[in-house]
Amino acid sequence: MFLHPLTIRLAVSRTKLFVVIAAVFAMTNLTGCVGMIIGGAATAGVAAYQERGIKGFAADTETATKVRTKILEADNQLFNDVGVEVYEGRVLLTGRVPSEEKRAEAVRISWSVVDVKDVINEVAVSENPFSDLANDTWITTKLKSKMTFDKDILAINYSIETVGAVIYLIGIAQDKAELQRVLNHARSIDYVKRVVNHVRIKDPKPS
């Protein structure tokens, strides 16, 4: 079968576009259906460049899945209200719940999962957990964009959650200078009330 040269060029262009889109989605830490569409190859490729490596990424992903599953089994509404990020075995809980009891339950469930090294409880008590969802999503997207296009920041080493215009950061910074750039970007975004930093600075190489 003969293919016109223009048809071939269009096919190649579309393939390149898909690869670029897949990489961008992978770096934004999206899960669920989008992650299934992208496939394991793109995710593994991104993980290989992270400081925690492929094994660390896989372990954290497994731990996060276990925490989310246990929360879902215990309380469907709690699952909807609480965000879970895991980095190096450190569980960062964010979101809004209607009572202190629900907040404590999320922490208890997280600690019940094997391989959890620490639980950082940033869950707030609020009557309306979804009141700022659109604005929070915009803030997170804006910060990810700023970090991705800053050549002095390895954005793949950071996870970001925004709740009530408060940005929560966890991950590994190459050094204090890089971390400061990330914090500066976060604080420069409109409507941000506060930036909470749980990022670890990379251990120096032995001399």
Q: 53-125 and 133-201: same fold?
A: yes
Listed in sequence order, the residues at least 6 apart from 79 whose beta carbon sits closer than 8 Å to its beta carbon are: 68, 71, 72
Which CATH number does 133-201 carry? Answer: 3.30.1340
Looking at domain 53-125, its CATH architecture is: 2-Layer Sandwich (3.30)
What are the start-end ranges of the H helices in 50-175? 53-74, 76-81, 100-111, 133-148
- Asked whether the beta carbons of 173 and 179 are under 8 A apart, the reply is yes
Q: How far is CA 122 from CA 50, 97, 106, 168, in A?
A: 24, 11, 11, 8
* Dist CA 191 CA 193 (whole Å): 6
**Token pair in block for residue 56:** 């660390």
* Domain definitions of the chain by residue range: 5-49, 53-125, 133-201
pTM for the model stands at 0.74
Instruction: Kindly give the parts of the chain with pLDDT less than 70.
Output: 1-49, 129-131, 206-207
pLDDT digits (tens, 9 = 90+) for 125-174: 987 766 688 999 999 999 999 999 999 999 999 999 999 999 999 999 99
- pLDDT, residue 127, reads 74
Under DSSP, the state recorded for 98 is S
- pLDDT, residue 43, reads 53
